[in-house]
Chain A
Amino acid sequence: MKYVDEFRDRDLAKTIAEAIRQEADPGRTYNIMEFCGGHTHAIFRYGVKDLMPENVRFVHGPGCPVCVLPVRRLDDAVEIAERHDVILCTYGDMMRVPGTKQRSLIKAKADGADIKMVYSTLDALKIARNNPDREVVFFAIGFETTTPPTAVAIKTAERERLKNFSVFCNHVLTPSAIGHILESPEVRELGTVQIDGFLGPSHVSSVIGSEPYEFFAEEFGKPVVIAGFEPLDVMQSALMLIRQINEGRHEVENEYTRVVTSEGNLKAQQLVSDVFELRQSFEWRGLGKVPYSALKIRETYAAFDAEKRFEVSEKKSREVKSCECPAILRGVKKPTDCKLFGTVCTPDSPMGSCMVSSEGACAAYWTYGRHREKARAAPVKEAAE
């Protein structure tokens, strides 16, 4: 398959791995945060870590849209589906994310709520057209990649005068989240999280371009390399970061030139700014309230805003107490540091969002990475015998 196979080539991977080994200074560690869940997935799915020297470490960031949605917003979605008798359309991953008291959309569906899994906003529009007597709500989540399609859906609904379609908007913004992590006490003062550079998002950057990262490369002195999602993209980008770190540079570089330009997709940006505006503040799972980190639907399109159309009650939303998702999303802890990991929390019965999505760090560790734990556990077992 063109544009895929060449980025998974075993010989090329060996060559890049060798270059990394040559260039990484054995006297230090390189802590690379991959912001995107897509990168986390690629690192584990292809076993990229096996080709890296010990002192090049990946710190998993919060860029998994399912993972960062706070429980409160999920509880609201469940309430909209159950109380207001709507057809709630959602992307598949959201279905199994546990809300307060483990209530998830899939459980609400089993109890009779009309919840439909869709693959795109077009499906949600089709469902609205085919069910003119029902209210259809699209549960919109995601970073800048999924925002333009939601904007298109809202504009289409307006053009077609679809009166029964609305959007529960939870779109969030990447640059403000990265900035927030870099300003967090763990990074700035406590030093519990060491980040030497970032693998920048690939698909997000195809929309917003590489320019938005210039600010914190400069401000925080951290190099950023925008990286594609294939395993060789990740490895090549890690090499580019290692070179920058070795040379004391902190620039924004673009490894993913086959897709990303510096200004991004202007048409998509225009669509988004037509339909959405910044929220003053939005809560993220793990990061807490982050100013200007999310979008809401503009007043012009208020008719399509589910938050305006459906009342939701005040509620005390709560995550499972010992779930470490918040700390994992900030890069402070690893999935294996969580007491629940692999015991009560597995992809089959997730306690927290990071175990649900294939882009979540816990799911990636469990699904692809358990052999590492086994390898680590084996010598201990022998010693005990």
Chain B
Amino acid sequence: MNAITPGISHRKGAVDMAHGGGGRAMAELIDDLFRRHLSNSILDQGNDAALFQVPAGRLVMSTDGHVISPLFFPGGDIGSLSVHGTLNDVAMAGAKPLYLTAGFILEEGFPLADLERIVASMALAAREAGVPIVTGDTKVVEKGKGDGVFITTTGLGVVPEDVHVSAERARPGQAILLSGSIGDHGVAILSKRENLEFETEIKSDSAALHTLVADMIEAVPGIAVLRDPTRGGLAATLNEVARSAGVGMHLDETTIPVKPDVAAACELLGLDPLYVANEGKLVCLCDAGDAEKLLAVMKAHPLGRDAAIIGKVVEDDAGLVEMETEIGGLRVVDWLSGEQLPRIC
């Protein structure tokens, strides 16, 4: 890939308004930074729109904006997160993701070296997932009008025949499975926030879940519901499903995996891990008879090693999610009210 002029000094420089101006500087940025890292046969067509074949069947599409602060955090950065986040949204339809797009909003003055780190991380995440970024866009806003970089990604995927995953399919009697420990992402982000820095080994769980989903669907094609509990945590996800299907849920607190460091950080900060964000976990509802089989498949996958059956769907017109607590009492697990942590993804 040759630059139009011999190389922009992106390792030293910073984003300026010209990088979004449509002129030579923008072309250089795209060629020398974006295309160099993200290169694939479709992106390299170099047209405004990517052209590709689609398989027969039902397609799903999902889009997600990423505004996380800080941009770099233990276990990932805004680049890898923007790939994982959208891949997971596509995968939660039971789909195999095919293509991604990426839109960047850059703030004037943002170091090009940081931008390159982010784009390289996106490229790696996309390559590991086996899903190419086929088209993109870059805009620059004046200093003070953004916060470094915002990334919007869109994903396209195809749903296998006979797979019908949707929140409305939650029915009383189904088992609720969780793929691993909760709260890792939120606590990792918190530990790096200004005013709140604390020492912890916790890393974000940011990961692409589509291969785990593929294994699960292959074993139990009748999976009713898949969701990734991101913002608002496990509590918000379960409430969304309960509301959309008009059912209740009954959880057992002792079965929900929480890493000791995450639990400790939450105690200290007065947070409930049920409300803390995840970026590499999924919740699954399936018929009770399939639950053990599905659990075994999940545990066999590296991203589902700590999977657990955490409760069951029950009849309840009020749509309440209830939980038997550690000591054996009962409580409601309500929606999160207000905002626990801004800009977590």
Interface positions of A (Cβ within 8 A of B)? 1, 4, 8-10, 13-14, 44-51, 96, 118-119, 123, 126, 231-232, 346-348, 358, 366-371, 374
Contacts and interface: CB of A to CB of B under 8 A. Distances in A.
A4 B267 contact: yes
18 contacts: A1-B260, A1-B263, A4-B263, A9-B326, A10-B327, A46-B325, A46-B326, A46-B329, A48-B327, A123-B195, A126-B195, A346-B337, A347-B338, A367-B334, A368-B331, A370-B332, A371-B322, A371-B331
B325 A47 contact: yes
B330 A371 contact: yes
Contacts of B325: 45-47, 231
* Secondary structure of the B contact surface, majority rule: loop
Contacts of A369: 331-332
B328 interface: yes
Contact of B334 (A46, A118, A366, A374): A366
A44 B334 contact: no
Contacts of A14: 328
A232 B330 CA distance: 15
A254 B225 CA distance: 50
Contacts of B316: 374
A283 B337 CA distance: 29
B56 interface: no
B175 interface: no
B264 interface: yes
B195 A348 contact: no
Nearest to B335: A348
A118 B194 CA distance: 10
Given A232-B327, A371-B332, 15 more contacts: A1-B267, A4-B267, A8-B326, A10-B327, A13-B328, A46-B331, A47-B329, A51-B328, A126-B195, A347-B334, A348-B338, A370-B332, A371-B322, A374-B318, A374-B320
Nearest to B272: A45
B332 A348 contact: no
Contacts of A47: 324-325, 327-331
Contacts of A126: 195
Given A1-B264, A374-B318, A374-B320, A50 B329 contact: yes
A371 B316 CA distance: 11
A118 B322 CA distance: 32
Contacts of A348: 337-338
Nearest to A118: B195
Contact of B326 (A10, A44, A50, A118): A10
A91 B39 CA distance: 48
B196 interface: yes
B254 interface: yes
A51 B329 CA distance: 6
B335 to A, nearest CB: 8
A-B pairs with the 9 shortest C-beta distances? A47-B329, A347-B337, A13-B327, A50-B329, A368-B331, A8-B326, A46-B325, A123-B195, A47-B330
Given A1-B263, A118-B195, A119-B196, A368 B327 contact: no
Contacts of B318: 370, 374
B276 to A, nearest CB: 15
A104 B120 CA distance: 44
Interface in B201-225: none
Contact of A50 (B263, B270, B328, B332): B328
